[in-house]
């Protein structure tokens, strides 16, 4: 028992010392000041490095800092849908100037927060607005165009004339647009070259939102079954779900050498420019096509 | 005088129980926090700042407290569900599914009943109906597993897991289909909003904490009373501790197994129901994911005692809730919180580690939570 | 005998368990080729001492010498290496393995990666022949009778070259005849230089077979004596620490009408084998019917079928004219059955419940213990205090967990609960005194006789022949699931009963 008290005392002392040392730690910049420009980003349920909307948006925010526009940039990953409002409020209360919310799931929470924090500008990535919400700029993308280009490219590159797409749920319009665009693009290429390409598009609509974009095992399985049926190009559209078979499947390279060819990184295909491999390595080119956006209403 | 003495001894008894049972969990938490801090420091973060964020974010303001209570509410109900099953010698892994069933059922009553009837119901009828229906469906869902256990010997661990799949996929089917919110802008698999008359009001204006939280505390007390003061509770505990002796004592073991599962499912259903009626006002696919599994951890950490469940539910709620602030201050990933929770559980489950670190001697009796696979 | 003859010596052994001084400065020695009996009640510290010698526990203080050399025993591996073998009360055998496989278990002989059964079997045959053990290495252990399984355990120790063999309560599972066989084997072993420590609580056996007797009580050695210099009464006094009445005082008592009537009862065990075939008997009010038999001859299933714990597969059971065949335990209890179960920790008690809760285990739902579904703790406590007084249960308070009580007091809790019920017409007591101290045995015997004298019918099932003979008015012998004989206890002899228990043909007419 004596030893126990000793250990406990030691722990308490250690934690007190650490607290004393750590007291000075908080971020130096104060976002509530007029001259400090702060940008915060709230993800949907998912990770910041999802090779999809979250990551692209965050890279954009980081670029704003690199370009000297923003002084402070921060993100919060949402782990449960009921925290949307709280996570946005975290930035709102800290006096951030711009808050980026990623994903249509945050649409309602963003609109509500815009009313609570009228001086903050919100950017809602992939948030469709039936009616204009003051303070919120919704970003929508011509996903069908992107899908179209990928589909055309895949059909042109395919030697087996079988191509596939592994997507998140088609309940989400952008994902559906990717998929349909992909089919249309393949058909277009067929028309040009006189080929007949078989297109497999599979949506992961059989699970809930918690899972549909975060299920790389399913993605890998589905992609594999497509390859087994002869597909030599597979397009991934759907967060982490579409990520696994590109990034982690060891068998992939083997298939590649045997004549399968990759389609450029699907996650990047959110932005049509990124389709070309060279450009994918230059984030600067990942700028939204201004012709299609409502960029900062106010 | 007599009464005063008794209440005194009751308080003493409670304090004694707490100190007897909480030492190891407390040290497990402490150790996990220290280990978590080391990991934060290792990945280049500031552990003190991280923990400050965690505490500020969970207790630092009325809003933070309110959010912690919001998080704690389903945790308490679901934790009680698992704990009650443990007391009856059953391992209910199915709280997740029972919770979803309860949420779907109560949201159905919440939005559709006025439509069916063609007129609005007063809250005093509508709300209890919505809650009751969710609770009953959750109970029924679990009772199936109880029945399978009692009459076919099917193990509840496997069956509750299977029932989770059925529940979650059925939920998905319903929310994408007949129960989907048909408003033109909606693309999400979710139900329409429930009627105002089926909503539990918040306790304070401007804060999300609602009366469901108070209900959770009352239910925790109720479960303690049921288990320790009633013949039903006596039967449940006897079956849980020694089913052979229960049979010998004339207890209908099969019936008690079904009853225990049903009660457990009702509590899990209540967790889902209260989330719908008190917080979200609808059920949406992806809401309440993982609560049923967290509940197992909460029941284990709380040693299946209702008071312990409430306390550990608060701990988990505070960690989940404070995670935002922690992340905001340090940009540490929220996964860290799950990791610390996992460490706490690891140290509680493998209490030998904690006992070894702090040189605590075992008090002899081991708490057996469930019987093995043989049942 | 000189010092050199001492093969094992334990000096000043002390072992403290939480709350119990299990071994208090104990000295013990074993000479080459002798049978040294270690006598004592349950909890006297015999098993602790042997576990210390065998390496299952570590002593706090003291030393152990083998052949005069001090050795450190940290695990059974050390003791086996030192030539010590132990045959536990519960056999450590795997029923689906053959004798040879069991014997080599943990010390497997392999030939090019596979088990070398031939070599092992040859060695077993050799040992078996040398010591007259008569064990077939290729038989499946599960098929062997208990007596033979025990010999397999002995072979196991000899196979590992044990020169010192510890036998822990070896006769508990044997018929008198099998016990005689065991004693013969023990003598053969000692004649060939093996030394034996014989742990028991049975006085008769000690006097019959031991060369020296050491009596332990409460963690201490009371005395070491020669069998020729002592007698049963003296040994009993040393064991218990006071004068003990070895016979049960029993007045003649006229039995009244039939209370329990069993007709053609059959039952199956867990493996779905019929272990009770077509059993019929009656028990009258005011008599004790004892069922004698070696363990595992269907007694367990019989008593379970009679008490509602097991559904009978055939036949009829009536109590006082009411048909109770296949009824639930609750119905039987309410009809007037008091059941003292065979396994008190499995069936009779919830060990983590308080004594008070356990004393209301079967009646919790009835007033005064509950009212409208709410347990009345006060009534429970009052009842417990009353019964603790009336049945002399030694417990610090009614709130202590039953698991903390000694075996004897645990059993008294059950006896108090069952016999105090207001409506008892029939008592079924299965192994009511197994593993108990002499004091508790005396007490429980007297309580059973009291019930009989009050006109209650008593069915006593026991593997202890002495107990059956002491308590019963009539004795039925059970063998392989059948009642092979029923005799008046005054006319019964140990030898005759032993023969019946072993399955000898029944010639005597039934009483």
Tens-place pLDDT, residues B281-292: 999 887 777 899
Q: What is the pLDDT of residue B197?
A: 94
Same domain, C36 and C82: yes
Q: Tell me, what CATH number does C51's domain have?
A: 3.40.50.300
The pLDDT of C353-375, averaged and rounded, is 92
B:C CB pairs within 8 Å = 69
Q: How far is B312 from chain A (nearest CA, A)?
A: 19
The pLDDT assigned to C413 comes to: 94
Cα distance between residue C422 and residue C433, in whole Å = 23
Residues of C in contact with B361 (CB under 8 A): 18
Q: Cα-flanking dihedrals φ and ψ of residue C481, to 5°?
A: 80, 0
**Local structure of A136: helix, strand or coil:** strand
Facing A172 at nearest CB: one of B37, B171, B187: B187
Residue B142 burial (CB count, 10 A): 34
Residue B284, number of CB atoms within 10 A of its CB: 21
Class (C level, CATH) for A38-140: alpha beta
> Does residue C185 sit in the same domain as residue C91?
yes
Rounded to the nearest 5 percent, the helix, strand and coil shares of chain C are 35, 25, 35
User: Of C205, C240, C275, which one is at a domain's C-terminal end?
Assistant: C240
CB contact under 8 A, B324 and A207: no
List the single range of C321-325, C338-342, C370-374, C437-441 with lowest mean pLDDT: C437-441
Smallest CA–CA distance, residue B253 to chain A, in Å, is 38
Given a cut of 70, whether residue C107 has pLDDT beyond it is yes
C294 and C192 belong to one structural domain: no
Asked whether residue C276 falls in the same domain as residue C234, the answer is: no
Percent of chain B topping pLDDT 90: 55
| Cβ contact, residue pair B358, A7, below 8 Å | yes
Alpha carbons B36 and B56: distance in angstroms, whole number: 18
**pLDDT in 10s for each residue of chain A, 298 residues:** 455 555 555 555 555 555 544 444 444 567 888 888 999 999 988 788 877 788 889 999 999 999 988 888 989 988 888 889 889 998 998 899 999 999 888 888 999 999 999 999 999 988 877 778 888 988 888 888 888 998 898 888 888 888 888 888 777 777 888 888 999 999 999 999 888 989 988 888 766 666 677 777 788 888 888 888 888 888 877 666 665 544 333 333 323 233 333 333 333 333 333 333 333 333 333 333 333 332 233 2
Domain with C112 in it? 3-240
CA gap C415, C379 in Å, rounded: 19
Of A208-222, C145-159, C160-174, the one with minimum mean pLDDT is: A208-222
A38-140 and A143-285 share one fold: yes
In a domain, C169, yes or no: yes
* Average of per-residue pLDDT across B32-42: 87
> How far is Cα A107 from Cα A131, in angstroms, rounded to an integer?
12
**Other C-beta atoms lying within 10 Å of the C-beta of residue A189:** 21
A18 contacts in B (CB within 8 Å)?
37, 47-48
The domain segmentation of chain A, as residue ranges, is 38-140, 143-285
State pLDDT tens for residues C218-235.
Answer: 888 988 999 889 888 888
Same domain for C214 and C90, yes or no, is yes
Does residue B227 surpass a pLDDT of 90? yes
- In this prediction, what percent of chain B has a pLDDT beyond 70? 91
Digit-coded pLDDT (tens) for C457-485: 999 999 888 889 989 999 999 988 999 99
Quick one: pLDDT band at residue C358, thresholds 50, 70, 90? very high
Q: How far is CA A149 from CA A146, A241, C204, in A?
A: 5, 21, 99
Given C240, C266, C281, which residue is the final one in a domain?
C240
pLDDT per position as a tens digit, C33-92: 999 999 887 777 888 888 888 888 888 888 889 888 888 888 888 888 889 999 887 788
How high is the pLDDT of residue C246? 61
- The CATH superfamily holding the domain A143-285 is Response regulator (3.40.50.2300)
The per-residue pLDDT for A185 is: 92
A275 touches chain B (CB under 8 A): no
CA of B71: which chain A residue's CA is closest?
A: A82
Is C379 within a domain? no
The verdict on A131 touching B (C-beta cutoff 8 Å) is no
Q: What is the pLDDT of residue B85?
A: 96
The answer to whether C308 and C331 are in contact (CB under 8 A) is yes
DSSP state of C510: P
Asked whether residue C108 falls in the same domain as residue C234, the answer is yes
Beta bridge partners of A233: A163
Count Cβ atoms below 10 Å from residue B203 Cβ, excluding itself. Answer: 15
CB contact under 8 A, B187 and A173: yes
Taking the C-alpha atoms of residue C52 and residue A237, their distance in angstroms, rounded to an integer, is 68
The pLDDT value given to residue B241: 94
Contact between C455 and C449 (Cβ < 8 Å): no
Q: Does C280 lie in the same domain as C163?
A: no
pLDDT by residue (tens digit) across B321-373?
Answer: 988 888 888 887 778 778 888 888 788 777 777 777 777 665 544 444 444 33
Nearest CA in chain C to B366: C352
pLDDT, tens digit, 9 for 90 and up, residues C402-434? 988 877 889 999 999 999 998 899 999 999 988
Residue linked to tokens 């408003």: B183
Q: Is residue C473 part of a domain?
A: yes
pLDDT at C5: 84
Q: Do chains A and C touch (3 or more CB pairs under 8 A)?
A: no
Interface residue A276 vs chain B (CB under 8 A)? no
Tell whether C355 is covered by a domain.
no
pLDDT surpasses 50 at C126: yes
- Residue from the list B52, B187, B324 with its beta carbon closest to the beta carbon of A171: B187
* Pairs from A213-218 (Cβ < 8 Å, separation ≥ 24): A213/A46, A213/A50, A213/A52, A213/A168, A213/A238, A213/A239, A213/A240, A213/A241, A214/A45, A214/A46, A214/A47, A214/A239, A214/A240, A214/A241, A215/A240, A215/A241, A216/A240, A216/A241, A216/A243, A216/A244, A216/A245, A216/A248, A217/A244
Q: Are C232 and C174 part of one and the same domain?
A: yes
The residue-averaged pLDDT of B146-169 equals: 93
Contact list, C350 vs chain B (CB under 8 Å): 237-238, 241-242, 245
- Partners of C26 in beta bridges: C13
Nearest CA in chain A to B175: A208
Q: Which of B231, B232, B248 sits opposite C329 (nearest CB)?
A: B248
Residue C9 is inside which H or E element, if any? strand C6-17
What are the chain B neighbours of A55 within 8 Å (beta carbons)? none
Is C364 near chain B, with CB under 8 Å?
Answer: yes
Taking an 8 Å cut-off on Cβ atoms, the answer to whether B249 and C361 are in contact is yes
Using a CB-CB cut-off of 8 Å, the residues of chain C touching B229 are 374-375, 377
With 0-12 / 13-18 / 19 or more C-beta atoms within 10 angstroms meaning exposed / middle / buried, residue A188 is middle
Annotate C221-248 with b (16+ C-beta within 10 A) or e (fewer): bbeebebeebeeeebbebbbeeebeeeb
Judged by CB atoms closer than 8 Å, whether chains meet at B250 and C18 is answered as no
Cβ contact, residue pair B189, A209, below 8 Å: yes
pLDDT of B214 reads 97
* Higher per-residue pLDDT: C267 or B28: C267
pLDDT at A242: 60
Among candidates B231, B250, B364 on the partner chain, residue whose Cβ is nearest the Cβ of C329: B250
DSSP 8-state assignment for residue C10:
E
- Give residue A234's pLDDT: 84
Count of domains for chain C: 2
Q: Answer yes or no: is pLDDT of C360 > 90.
A: yes
**Is C410 a member of any domain?**
no
Residue C237 is encoded by which pair of tokens? 């006094």
**Chain A residue with minimal CA distance to B46?**
A22
Pairwise CB contact (< 8 Å): B359 & A3: yes
Size of interface A-B (CB pairs under 8 A): 96
Please determine, for residue C255, whether its predicted confidence score (pLDDT) is greater than 80: no
User: Given this model, what pLDDT does residue B218 score?
Assistant: 97
Give the residue carrying structure tokens 């105090």.
C420
Nearest chain B Cα distance for residue A282, angstroms: 26
Task: Tell me what pLDDT residue B182 has.
Answer: 82
- Mean pLDDT, rounded, of chain C: 87
């Amino acid at each position: 028992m004596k030893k126990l008290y000793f250990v406990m005392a030691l722990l308490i002392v250690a934690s007190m010392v650490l607290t004393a040392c750590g007291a000075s730690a908080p971020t130096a910049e104060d976002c509530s000041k007029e001259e400090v420009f702060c940008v915060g980003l709230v993800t949907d349920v998912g990770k910041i490095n999802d090779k999809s909307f979250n990551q692209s948006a965050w890279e954009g925010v980081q670029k704003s800092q690199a370009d000297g526009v923003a002084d402070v940039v921060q993100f919060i990953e949402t782990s449960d849908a009921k925290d949307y409002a709280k996570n946005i409020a975290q930035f709102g209360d800290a006096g951030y100037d711009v808050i980026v919310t990623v994903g249509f799931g945050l649409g309602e929470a963003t609109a509500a927060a815009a009313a609570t924090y009228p001086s903050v500008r919100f950017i809602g990535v992939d948030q469709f607005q039936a009616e204009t919400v003051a303070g919120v700029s919704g970003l929508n993308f011509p996903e069908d165009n992107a899908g179209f280009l990928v589909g055309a490219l895949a059909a042109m590159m395919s030697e087996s004339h079988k191509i596939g797409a592994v997507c998140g749920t088609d309940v989400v319009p952008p994902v559906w647009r990717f998929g349909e665009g992909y089919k249309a693009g393949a058909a277009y290429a067929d028309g040009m070259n006189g080929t007949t390409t078989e297109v497999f598009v599979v949506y992961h609509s059989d699970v809930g939102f918690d899972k549909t974009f975060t299920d790389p095992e399913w993605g890998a399985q589905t992609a594999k079954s497509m390859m087994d049926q002869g597909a030599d190009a597979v397009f991934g559209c759907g967060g982490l779900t579409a990520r696994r078979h590109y990034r982690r499947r060891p068998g992939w390279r083997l298939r590649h050498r045997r004549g399968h060819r990759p389609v450029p990184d699907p996650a990047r295909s959110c932005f049509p420019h990124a389709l070309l491999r060279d450009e994918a390595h230059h984030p600067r080119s990942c700028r939204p096509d201004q012709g299609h956006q409502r960029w900062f209403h106010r | 005088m007599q009464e005063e003495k008794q209440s005194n001894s009751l308080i003493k008894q409670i304090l004694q129980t707490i100190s007897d049972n909480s030492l190891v969990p407390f040290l497990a938490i402490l150790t996990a926090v220290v280990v978590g801090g080391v990991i934060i420091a290792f990945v280049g973060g500031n552990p003190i700042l991280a923990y400050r964020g965690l505490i500020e974010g969970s207790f630092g303001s009325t809003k933070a407290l309110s959010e912690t209570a919001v998080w704690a509410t389903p945790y308490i109900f679901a934790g009680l569900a698992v704990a009650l099953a443990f007391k009856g010698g059953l391992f209910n892994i199915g709280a997740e599914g029972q919770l979803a069933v309860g949420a779907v059922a109560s949201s159905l009553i919440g939005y559709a009943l006025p439509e069916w009837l063609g007129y609005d119901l007063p809250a005093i009828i509508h709300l209890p109906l919505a809650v009751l229906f969710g609770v009953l469906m959750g109970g029924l869902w679990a009772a199936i597993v109880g029945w399978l256990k009692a009459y076919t010997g099917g193990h509840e661990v496997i069956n509750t897991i299977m029932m989770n799949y059925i529940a979650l996929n059925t939920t998905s089917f319903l929310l994408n289909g007949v129960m989907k919110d048909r408003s033109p802008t909606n693309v999400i698999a979710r139900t329409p909003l429930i009627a105002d008359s089926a909503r539990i009001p918040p306790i304070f204006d401007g804060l999300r904490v609602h009366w469901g939280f108070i209900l959770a505390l009352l239910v925790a007390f109720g479960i303690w009373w049921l288990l320790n003061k009633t013949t039903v509770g006596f039967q449940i505990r006897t079956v849980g501790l020694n089913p052979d002796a229960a049979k010998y004592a004339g207890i209908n073991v099969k019936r008690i197994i079904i009853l225990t599962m049903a009660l457990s499912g009702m509590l899990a259903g209540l967790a889902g129901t209260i989330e719908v009626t008190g917080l979200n006002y609808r059920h949406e696919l992806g809401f309440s994911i993982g609560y049923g599994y967290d509940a197992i951890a909460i029941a284990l950490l709380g040693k299946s005692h209702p008071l312990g469940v409430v306390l550990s539910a608060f701990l988990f709620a505070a960690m989940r809730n404070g995670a935002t602030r922690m992340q905001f201050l340090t940009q540490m990933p929220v996964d860290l919180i799950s990791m610390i929770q996992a460490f706490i559980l690891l140290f509680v489950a493998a209490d030998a580690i904690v006992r070894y670190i702090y040189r605590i001697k075992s008090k002899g009796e081991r708490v057996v939570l469930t019987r093995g696979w043989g049942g | 005998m000189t010092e050199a003859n001492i093969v094992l010596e334990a000096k000043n052994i002390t072992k403290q368990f939480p709350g119990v001084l299990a071994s208090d400065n104990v000295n013990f020695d074993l000479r080459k080729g002798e049978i040294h009996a270690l006598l004592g009640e349950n909890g006297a510290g015999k098993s602790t001492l042997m576990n210390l010698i065998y390496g299952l526990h570590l002593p706090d203080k003291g030393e152990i010498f083998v052949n005069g050399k001090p050795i450190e025993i940290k695990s059974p591996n050390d003791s086996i290496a030192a030539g010590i073998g132990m045959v536990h009360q519960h056999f450590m055998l795997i029923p689906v393995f053959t004798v040879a496989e069991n014997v080599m278990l943990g010390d497997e002989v392999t030939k090019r990666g596979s088990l070398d059964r031939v070599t092992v079997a040859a060695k077993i045959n050799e040992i078996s022949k040398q010591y007259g053990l008569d064990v077939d290495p290729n038989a499946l252990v599960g098929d062997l009778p208990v007596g033979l399984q025990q010999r397999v355990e002995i072979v196991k120790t000899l196979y590992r070259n044990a020169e010192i063999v510890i036998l822990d309560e070896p006769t508990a599972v044997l018929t008198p005849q099998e016990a005689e066989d065991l004693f013969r084997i023990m003598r053969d072993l000692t004649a060939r230089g093996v030394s034996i420590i014989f742990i028991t609580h049975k006085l008769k056996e000690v006097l019959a077979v031991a060369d020296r007797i050491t009596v332990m009580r409460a963690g201490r050695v009371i005395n070491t004596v020669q069998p020729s210099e002592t007698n049963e009464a003296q040994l009993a006094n040393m064991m218990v620490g006071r004068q003990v009445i070895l016979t049960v005082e029993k007045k003649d008592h006229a039995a009244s009408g039939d209370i329990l009537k069993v007709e053609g009862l059959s039952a199956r065990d867990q493996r779905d084998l019929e272990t009770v075939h077509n059993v019929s008997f009656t028990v009258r009010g005011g008599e004790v019917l004892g069922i004698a038999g070696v363990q595992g001859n269907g007694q367990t299933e019989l008593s379970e079928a009679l008490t509602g714990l097991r559904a009978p597969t055939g036949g009829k059971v009536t109590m006082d004219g009411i048909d109770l065949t296949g009824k639930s335990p609750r119905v039987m209890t309410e009809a007037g059955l008091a059941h003292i179960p065979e396994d008190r920790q499995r069936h009779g008690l919830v060990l983590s419940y308080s004594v008070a809760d356990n004393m209301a285990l079967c009646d919790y739902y009835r007033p005064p213990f509950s009212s409208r579904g709410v347990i009345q703790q006060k009534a429970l406590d009052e009842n417990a205090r009353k019964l603790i007084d009336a049945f002399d249960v030694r417990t610090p308070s009614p709130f202590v967990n039953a698991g903390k009580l000694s075996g004897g007091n645990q059993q008294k809790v059950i006896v108090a609960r069952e016999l105090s019920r207001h409506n008892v017409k029939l008592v079924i007591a299965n192994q009511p005194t197994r593993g108990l101290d002499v004091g508790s045995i005396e007490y429980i015997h007297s309580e059973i006789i009291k019930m009989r004298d009050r006109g209650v019918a008593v069915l006593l099932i026991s593997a202890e022949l002495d107990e059956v003979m002491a308590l019963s008015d009539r004795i039925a012998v059970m063998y392989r699931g059948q009642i092979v004989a029923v005799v008046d206890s005054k006319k019964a002899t140990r030898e005759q009963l032993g023969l019946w228990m072993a399955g000898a043909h029944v010639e005597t007419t039934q009483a």
